Structure 1
C-alpha cells in the first residue's frame, strides 16, 4: 500500500514552477527589485566602512591622518570653583603660546568625567583621552596643570623636546623610576622614534603636572590602563601620581615607550620638592609650576602673580 500524502510537504520538495506562469511585466519588476536590493546593500556596506574610518575604527585610516593637524594640543583641566579671573589668565597663557606656534588648546572641567568617589585630580587622564577624540589629527598632547604657567613662549615644545633625535639626547637612562633606589630603572637602549610618553621626576618621584603623549593606539592603551577602575579603587596616597608610578614600574610595555627627561625642560618648580639636580625654576625655562597651590588653603593666584607680572612685562616689550 503506497504511503499517504501529507498535507505538509517537506521544505525541500520541489515545486512545479510551470503550474503558475509569471507574466513578463512582473518578472521584470522582480528583477529590478533584486538589483535594487543588491545595490542598496552594497552602498550600506560602504557607508558602514566610511563611518568606521571616520570614528577611528580602522587602524589604517586613523594612522593615515595623524600628524596632519596641530603639532601639539595643550590640555589643562579647570576647577569650576576656582577664581574665574585667575582661570581666564591661565587659559590666556596657553592660548597665546598655542597661537604663536600653531598649537591647539583644550580646557575641560574636572567635573566633566565620571570619577565617582575618586579625587578630582584624576580628571587629567580622561581629559587627555577626550582631547585625542576631539583632535584625531594632532601629533602630541601636552597635559599641563592649571598650577603651571608657560614662561618662555619662544620655545616650541615639539621641536625643543619631542623630535626623535632630541629625545635620544635628553633621555635619562638607567635611572630608578622612583628615586632614590627603585629596582626598576628606565631602559638604556630606547630609540627616540619609539617613545610615546615623556615625563619628568621631582625629588619624590614621577610627576604628572606636565607630561606629553604621542597620538596613536598605544597612547589610548596607556591612558586607559592608567585610568583603570582598579587603580582608582586602590586609594593610593597620591591618587593618579602613585598609580602612574605603579603602572610604569610593573608594566614593561609602558616602560618600553617612556622617556624620562630633566625636569627643567618642561616642568620646573617655582616652589615645592624640585629635583635636586635640574628641577628648580630658572629664568628662561619653558614652564614654572606651583605644585599644590590649589590645596591646603594656599592661593594660586597670589603665588603666581609675580610671574604673571613678568609675562605682562615681556608682552609689552615685544609690542614696543
Structure 2
C-alpha cells in the first residue's frame, strides 16, 4: 500500500519577519530597571552598613581640662624682678582659685629668630596649646596688668554663651570709625572663638591685619567693651579703672624711674592681695 508523498515545499520560502522593536524596547527597559534596582540596593547597603564605620577624620573637641590657661610673657632682662614676681603671683593665685592653669614664661625662652620680643607672645600661646591640648580657652594677659577682682571667673564674666551675647559689639568697624570691615551681626556667642576687648584706638596693628585679611578669624571674632577685662590706669588712654573692675592695665609704664610699672602698680597691689586673703 502506498502513501502519497507529502506536498513539496516551496523552494522560495517567505522572508523572515523583522524582529519586533517593541520586544527590544521592552528588554532595554527591563535591563534599565534591574540596573537601577541594583544600584539602589548597593546605596542602601552602604548607608546602613558602610556609613556606620568611624570616620578617619573628625573634629577634635577638647575635654575642657583645664578650662582656661592664663598666659603671661615676662622679660626679666629689662623689667624689675620684684615687680615681675608680683605679676607671677597674681596670675598663679587667680588661676588656682578657679581651677585654671597659669603659664608665666620668660620671653628669652623662645627663639624669635630676630623678630621683636613681642612675638614671643604668639609662640607662648602655641606652647600653651601644645602643653594643654584639652583646654577650652587661652587667655593672654600682658605683664603690665593686675587681675584686681579674683572672685570673678572668666565663665561668669565673658565665656558663658548668654553673657557673651549681651556683651558682643556687633556690626562695628574693626578699625573705627569708618572701616568697611565690621564684626558679624549674626554671630552667636556659642560660635565665638576669639574674644577681644577694643579701646578707642581699635585693635593693635597685628590684630587688625589678622581680622581684616583673614575672614575665618573675623567670622569667629567677638568684640567686647574694653572694661570687661582691660580697664586702663590712666583715663587719657581709654576707659579708666574703677573699683570693682576685673583687670587694670598700665600700658605706658616704664622699666625704671618714676613711671615704672612697679611704681604705678603699687597703689593697686594691696587691693588684689586683700581680695585673695594675702598680706
Q: TM-score range by the shorter chain?
A: 0.7 to 0.9
Map 1:1-320 onto structure 2 (within 5 A). Answer: 60=58, 63-64=60-61, 66-81=62-77, 82-206=79-203, 241-271=204-234, 274-275=237-238, 279-294=239-254, 298-316=259-277
Q: Secondary structure at the match of 1:100?
A: helix
- CA separation in 1, counterparts of 2:100 and 2:135? 9
Q: Secondary structure at the match of 1:76?
A: strand
Q: 1:282 to 1:59 in 2, by over 3 A?
A: farther
Q: 1:247 to 1:312 in 2, by over 3 A?
A: closer
Contact 1:77–1:109 at 8 Å: present in 2 too?
Answer: yes
- CA separation in 2, counterparts of 1:314 and 1:246? 38
Deviations 1:71-98 (A, max 9, x none): 1110000102222111111111111111
Deviations 1:32-75 (A, max 9, x none): xxxxxxxxxxxxxxxxxxxxxxxxxx864x824x1341111100
- CA separation in 2, counterparts of 1:250 and 1:176? 14
Which residue pairs with 2:34 in the alignment? none
- CA separation in 2, counterparts of 1:309 and 1:296? 21
Deviations 1:240-274 (A, max 9, x none): x3121012012211110000000111111112654
- CA separation in 2, counterparts of 1:302 and 1:92? 17
Structure 2: gaps of 5 or more residues: 1-55
Q: CA deviation at 1:281?
A: 1.2
Aligned residues: 222
Q: 1:99 to 1:204 in 2, by over 3 A?
A: same
- CA separation in 2, counterparts of 1:80 and 1:292? 18
* TM-score, normalised via structure 2 length: 0.74
Deviations 1:130-189 (A, max 9, x none): 101001111111000000100000100123201222211110011111122212111100
- CA separation in 2, counterparts of 1:126 and 1:252? 22
Q: CA deviation at 1:295?
A: 5.9
Once superposed, what is the RMSD of the aligned Cα atoms? 2.1
Deviations 1:189-240 (A, max 9, x none): 001111110001112111xxxxxxxxxxxxxxxxxxxxxxxxxxxxxxxxxx
Q: Secondary structure at the match of 2:120?
A: helix
- CA separation in 1, counterparts of 2:90 and 2:263? 16
Which residue pairs with 2:23 in the alignment? none
* TM-score, normalised via structure 1 length: 0.65
- CA separation in 1, counterparts of 2:217 and 2:95? 29
